[in-house]
Amino acid sequence: MSGDVLPGGETVGRAAGVSRHSELTRTAALVVIVFFAYFVLGLRLAHGDYFRANNFLFDYDAATYVRTLCSAGEFIPRHPFVGALRPVCKAALGVGIPLPVAISGFFAAVGALTVGVAYRCFASLGVALPERLLLAAFLALSSCQAINGVVADTFGLSALGLAALYLIFMSRENHPARAPVARYAVAAYLFGVTVTNLMQPVVAEVALWFGRVSTRELVRRLILSGVVLGVILLAGMLLCVPWDILSPIDVLKHYKGDSEFPGPERAGLWTIVETFVAYAFIAPDFTMVPLSNGEPGMLDFRDFRMSGFGLAALALWVLLLASGIGCAITERRQRRLAVFLGLVIALNLVMHLYVQFRLSVYIYAAHVQIAILLLAAFALHASSLRRGRVRAAVLTALAALVLLTGLNNIPRFIEMARAIG
Amino acid sequence: MTRVARVSLKALAGVALLLPGHLWAAAMADDIRLARTIGWREVGEPRRLHLAAAPPIAKVEVRDRWASRYEERVTFVSGSYLVFESTRYAYSATVPLQHLFYQMFGLDEALTAQGLQPGIAQAAVRSFGGRATAYYVAQGKTKTCFSFASQFAAVSPGVRDRMLSGQDCRPNGTISAEELVRAWGALLDGIQIR
């Protein structure tokens, strides 16, 4: 096999075709492995009472989404197009697959695809093969991603759409006019699974075009894109809203109601940062949260109670993230990506100061987890360009991070799967 | 655009094509139930709660099939109830008792029906039976209600992993708020946990 080899181990030239084929095979293998891991865990969870009720874990509404995806369901204004996925579950049930298997398989597939798309993001960022495989393993083992590959809710669906958004952003970074259809498809998908996630494709457009065109042209493009997207979303709403039950006024009232988060309980900025940066990756011990009206208590990650493995993994992860942020600030080639990721993380932190319910902020980590991981990946991109001891040390630390995360998180996942029966 | 991005696009287009499928998705039997009703089974006598001076008991139920917790609910003939929970995982160390009370009763249906919505600061804290307890008593539209919540450690000092909570709503005029607190104080003082 011939061809030039970049410092990161990537090949160019004649070998590139073979390399692309190998890369596709690796991505597929990764997706299959992660799928089976999540699927087994999901089946164990389904063996108990988990899918029969809401709020057993992390304020996820498992019963609501099982019903929405697999039965007559209900329209959920915050996630308006989720019901459109119902035929997938219906088809599975139609060929005789039992409900717990169908629902576990569906979310395991979504979770595994997310890891696969994130892996391609790391490749697009220029992270070399060993590093990006380890980083994908870290993501697959991280608490938020693994749990979203197991539980039934929209957060896993959001993570998949966001990973696709970041991948498309990277493909457009130097050619922003690319992907004219994909950008709208992803934006519509993200709105459809969680309306607030529409913010991220909007920020992406601004980050891609800012400074490349005049302010006037930027505003014109944003308005035009907004109109096109508005038409797509309106068409989706026309299809998905049960207009025989809900009038347009009722739908607007739902959105108004959903935008009001009552109650004096509010998680502060530090709690949200701690949850998104630490607990979303390295699971602490579970906290039992009592609920009202006779609902059984909910298991959540709320308190800083870590095992020794968890503390060691957290130290390595914080070091990697800090290095990644440093590299992202100094990196020139992909400055737009760094700015975009920084903006979406910051805006999500601000948004979830207000958009939260009974201190359950862990669930929202899925909206920023891959963005945070991509910031960390800047450090691995930088080390991929180096040879010798520095790169060996980084690879060793990354392997240790994956190992320690697995040693800490896998027991948590097993506990979670056994907790409700 | 990379190959993977094209595949992603096709996948998303496939999702978009599923939209019309929404129209033909037929209804199926709905066996989803409220979590509050799942798993309870009636037993003859309280197992973990020892009540020294209790009013007549209507039924005792336990929920013991989940590895993460054990719950025991005593419902008295008057309709009031007492719940004991022993959990495998600690409750939050950072949540004060008044806040805990708000989590459990801030949006309680029985209290809301009486026009009562206690805020965090409205719960009083006092020791019953050596256990710090947050409680709230108030007269509603037709009933006077006493609600309480207490968390404590199985072994002191330790993390909070046991909880007692309950509620008693009586028709207005049959008992004063002070008498209700006294009656429940006596009951809670006499509770021992096995």
Write the pLDDT tens digit of every residue in A116-152. 999 999 999 999 999 999 999 999 999 999 999 999 8
Are B5 and A168 a contacting pair at CB < 8 A?
Answer: yes
In a mutational test of the B interface, the residue from A293, A358, A359 whose CB has the highest number of chain B CBs within 10 Å is A293
Are A303 and B93 a contacting pair at CB < 8 A?
Answer: yes
In a mutational test of the B interface, the residue from A69, A160, A420 whose CB has the highest number of chain B CBs within 10 Å is A420
Are A294 and B36 a contacting pair at CB < 8 A?
Answer: yes
CA distance A122 to A338: 13
Q: Which residue of B has its CA nearest to A189?
A: B12
The answer to whether the beta carbons of residues A95 and A124 sit under 8 Å apart is no
Are B67 and A171 a contacting pair at CB < 8 A?
Answer: no
- Token look-up 């009703």 returns B37
B120 contacts chain A (CB < 8 A): yes
Determine the pLDDT at residue A215: 94
How far apart are the CA of A177 and the nearest CA of chain B, in angstroms? 11
CA distance A42 to B69: 20
Q: Domain ranges in chain A? A: 16-243+266-419
Per-residue pLDDT of chain B (194 residues), as tens digits, is 566 566 556 656 655 555 444 433 433 334 445 667 788 899 988 999 998 877 899 999 999 989 999 999 999 999 999 999 999 999 998 889 999 999 999 989 999 999 999 989 999 999 998 899 999 999 999 999 999 999 998 877 778 999 999 999 999 999 999 999 999 999 999 999 98
CA distance B131 to A188: 53
CA distance B136 to B82: 15
In chain A, which residues have pLDDT < 50? 1-9, 12
Pairing mode, strands B41-43 and B69-76: unpaired
A90 contacts chain B (CB < 8 A): yes
Domains, in order of start, for chain B: 39-193 (2.60.120)
Q: Where are the beta strands (DSSP E) in B65-161?
A: 69-76, 81-87, 124-128, 131-139, 143-152
Report pLDDT digits (tens) over B70-102: 999 999 999 999 999 999 999 998 889 999 999
B32 contacts chain A (CB < 8 A): yes
CA distance B66 to B82: 20
Please return the burial class of A206, using the count of CB atoms within 10 Å of its CB with bins 0-12, 13-18 and 19+: middle
Are B103 and A292 a contacting pair at CB < 8 A?
Answer: yes
The answer to whether the beta carbons of residues B151 and B91 sit under 8 Å apart is yes
Which of residues 1 through 40 in chain A touch B, CB cutoff 8 A?
20, 24, 27
Report pLDDT digits (tens) over A142-155: 999 999 999 989 99
Q: Which residue of B has its CA nearest to A53?
A: B35
Determine the pLDDT at residue B3: 61
Determine the pLDDT at residue A6: 47
Nearest CB to B35: which of A87, A295, A358?
A295
CA distance A322 to A316: 10
B47 contacts chain A (CB < 8 A): no
Determine the pLDDT at residue A333: 86
Nearest CB to B104: which of A20, A285, A290?
A290
A288 contacts chain B (CB < 8 A): yes
CA distances to B64, B126, B140 from B134, rounded to whole Å, are 26, 7, 19
Determine the pLDDT at residue A51: 83
| Predicted ipTM beyond 0.90 | no
Which of residues 117 through 176 in chain A touch B, CB cutoff 8 A?
117, 120, 124, 164, 167-168, 171
How far apart are the CA of A322 and the nearest CA of chain B, in angstroms? 28
Measured CA angle at A178 (ends A230, A335), to 5 deg: 100
Are B71 and A72 a contacting pair at CB < 8 A?
Answer: no
CA distances to A43, A58, A405, B80 from A275, rounded to whole Å, are 27, 12, 16, 38
Determine the pLDDT at residue A16: 62
Q: Which residue of A has its CA nearest to B164?
A: A290
How far apart are the CA of B41 and the nearest CA of chain A, in angstroms? 14
Determine the pLDDT at residue A272: 96
